[in-house]
Amino acid sequence: MTRSWWGWGTVEEAVTGAELEALLGRVRMLAPGDLTGHEPPDVSALGLPAPRVSAPTALADLCSADPADRAGHAHGKAFRDVVRNLHGELRHVPDLVARPRRERDLVDLLDWCARDGIAAIPYGGGSSVVGGIEPRFEDDRAAVTIDLGRLDRVLEIDPVSRAARIQAGVFGPRLEDQLRPSGLTLRHFPQSFEFSTLGGWLATRAGGHYATLRTHIDDLVESMRVVTPSGINESRRLPGSGAGPSPDRLFLGSEGALGVITEAWMRLQERPRWRATAAVHFADHAAAVAATRAVAQSGLHPANCRLLDSAEALVNAGVVVGGGVLILGFESADHPVGTSLDRAEELCRDHGGEIRAGTAREGTSDTWRSSFLRMPYQRDALARHSVIAETFETACTWDRYEDLHHAVTQAARDAVRKATGQDGVVTCRFTHVYPDGPAPYFGVYAPGRWGSTVAQWDEIKAAVSGAITDNGGTITHHHAVGRDHRPWYDIQRPDPFAAALTAAKAALDPTGILNPGVLVPAP
């Protein structure tokens, strides 16, 4: 398989043929526009500037100046990244890509960067959707991207406490492959699982596929080892601790700005043996939301509790329904889960939900799952045909949900009309639900204009981010802050905390080389 330099995943898995025709057919019905296809440019035609630095001799064999390597590490994998790649618009490219083989190499690389004032960007799978790995700075300093892909091993498994010591650069599938013989699993499955790493998940506080309880990677961490320019920070393995503020909490979500995570002890679980799923149809969206809240507050803790609104159900699961579909799933390694599903279904029926016995128990959730994994490939195919197809996400408390949903949907629709002159489609689903609120995830699909879709999307994104912030939501539930969410993160974050974070950055990274501009202003 060949990794795509410009888009998601591998070249071989790209959407082509009948799948592409069907996709474009659906788009023509929903949002007609100019759907001419455009080929991605060849890396040799990009005309990248020569690297501004060269590695010291002792580090030279860790560093690559290969144009394909540099281009492939320049942008993350958001819609705006993919489109800029398609246009050959690579304004900020790392000068070198370094691949440490061991922790000592990493220490030497950081020493060199600190000495010469070079920015160092920690890099896992490069699946950031918030400009987290892009060497875009206020000044024009040189940048070395530190790709941790060679640190990809499970080093130790403790079957008694059920935990494993794992290197940060391991991708999801290879991580699970190494755990499989032990019968244990990390059970963290973000949509980007195949092409993102443990270190990236920790550094962005990623959200997995499971809808309740341990939703974020944070909940699975026992201890972490982080290399900072000021020294190595390793926390103690503990099941819980009340000893002051948690050191791990400082580095979780630190987005490469405070240190480079090299390994972590992660909590494992047995692989589930019992499963039960159902799809519940609702005629009314408010009733569907009320039912979802009842399940979230019931203490049943479903593994999946994903409410799709009617537009999302139609676009991504092919289901026509007035108020939405709630996909429920329970699983356990220890006991049958049928009774939990029965009780959740009862709660849904109380709110007018209709359980589609037989086909729906399997059908909708399976259709949804396979479409879920194809979504990023389809997004890229749409981008090649000038369709704006992007998502954004948040979380809020239940009491604010209705207002937030209304304001954000309206802001998205108005912004699409203003930016494109046409009506687009705005969808919403809950990716995670908590007893005190949901994490709504919105999709926007609109016909764009080739050459302008990034500017059009940026306009829409600014409008929806403002609506989220004004209505009590967080600028991100799990996509992280990066460079693109900074303006709204700065509003959301309390000032004393901003001062403390800036001081922490100065203490850990005194020369300000680590991912400058992410989380706090570059010094």
Residue 317 or 514 with smaller CB distance to ligand FAD = 514
- 387, β-bridge pairs: 447
What the block records as the tokens of 193 is 């699982």
Cβ distance to ligand FAD smaller for residue 340 or 365 = 365
Q: Is 30 exposed, middle or buried (0-12, 13-18, 19+ CB in 10 A)?
A: middle
Say whether residue 478 binds ligand FAD (CB under 6 A): yes
CA 61 centroid distance within chain:
32
Q: Is 479 in the site for ligand FAD (CB under 6 A)?
A: yes
- Residue 167 touches ligand FAD, criterion: CB under 6 A: no
Query: Cα separations (Å) of 121 from 53, 58, 75, 429?
Result: 15, 20, 12, 33
Our CB check for ligand FAD shows the closer of 33 and 190 to be: 190
**Contact code string over 186-205 relative to ligand FAD, x by CB under 6 A:** ----xxx---xx-xxx-xx-
Give me the least distance between CB of 57 and ligand FAD, in Å please: 26
3-state helix, strand, coil in the chain (%, to 5): 40, 20, 40
Position among 376, 440, 473, 517 found at the interface with ligand FAD (CB under 6 A): 376
Beta strands in 143-220 (DSSP E): 143-147, 154-158, 163-167, 184-185
Q: Contact, 350 vs 49, CB < 8 A?
A: no
CB of 334 to ligand FAD, least distance (A): 26
Instruction: Return all residues near 60 (Cβ < 8 A) that are at least 6 apart.
Output: 54
Closest among 241, 161, 151 to 198, alpha carbons compared: 151
Nearer to ligand FAD, 64 or 192 (CB): 192
Binding-site size for ligand FAD (CB under 6 A) equals 38
Nearer to ligand FAD, 124 or 437 (CB): 124
Q: Are strands 143-147 and 119-123 parallel, antiparallel or unpaired?
A: parallel
3-state SS, residue 518: coil
Residues 239-258 that bind ligand FAD (CB under 6 A): 255-256
Q: Could you give phi then psi for residue 27, rounded to 5 degrees?
A: -65, -40
With a CB cutoff of 8 Å and minimum separation 6, the contacts of 401 are 289, 437, 438, 440
Kindly tell me which residue out of 27, 154, 261, 303 binds ligand FAD, with binding defined by CB under 6 A: 261
The structure tokens listed for 2 are: 């060949």
Nearer to ligand FAD, 124 or 323 (CB): 124
Contact mark string toward ligand FAD, 95..134, x via CB under 6 A: --------------------------xxxxxxxxx--xx-
For residue 260, state whether it binds ligand FAD (rule: CB under 6 A): yes
Q: Which stretch binds ligand FAD (CB under 6 A): 339-347, 418-426, 433-441, 478-486?
A: 478-486
Tokens of 346: 């009862």
CB-nearer residue toward ligand FAD: 77 or 141: 77
Decide whether 200 or 473 has the Cβ nearer to ligand FAD.
200
- Closer to ligand FAD at the Cβ: 9 or 323? 9
Provide the minimum distance between the beta carbon of 214 and ligand FAD in the complex, in angstroms, as a whole number: 13
Residue 169 or 323: the one with the smaller Cβ distance to ligand FAD is 169
- Nearest approach, Cβ of residue 176 and ligand FAD (Å): 15
Residue closest to 403 by CA, chosen among 473, 342, 452, 340: 473
Residue 439 interacting with ligand FAD (CB under 6 A) = no
- From the CB of residue 163, how many other CB atoms can be counted at a distance below 10 Å? 23
The yes or no reply on residue 74 touching ligand FAD (CB under 6 A) is no
Q: Which candidate, 316, 355, 107, places its Cα nearest to that of 232?
A: 107
List interacting residues with ligand FAD (CB under 6 A).
8, 76-77, 121-129, 132-133, 148, 168, 190-192, 196-197, 199-201, 203-204, 206-207, 255-256, 260-261, 376, 478-480, 515, 518
